[in-house]
Amino acid sequence: MKNIELQLEPLSCPSCIKRIEGTLNKTKGVKNARVLFNSSKVKAKFDEDAVTMEAITETVEKLGYPVVSQKAS
């Protein structure tokens, strides 16, 4: 399992959190996705054999939330 952290453009409402978390937590290979509203960061664990970091980033961007930066550890 790897960790991913995405820095998003500033989030404007708490419902954004539910939308992003709900979608990512239903994505195959993603575990324990959470959004930090105050810092506009997404943090999640993922199985790199099931999903790529790029696919996770693309999923968030398709929801309408631009990713400013990403890092994995």
pLDDT at 30: 97
Classify strands 30-36 and 67-72 as parallel, antiparallel or unpaired.
unpaired
Q: Could you tell me the domains of the chain?
A: 2-72 (3.30.70.100)
Strand spans (E) along 1-73 = 2-8, 30-36, 41-46, 67-72
Q: Is 42 exposed, middle or buried (0-12, 13-18, 19+ CB in 10 A)?
A: buried
pLDDT at 10: 93
pLDDT at 12: 85
pLDDT at 14: 86
The pTM of this model reads 0.90
pLDDT below 50 — which residues of the chain? none
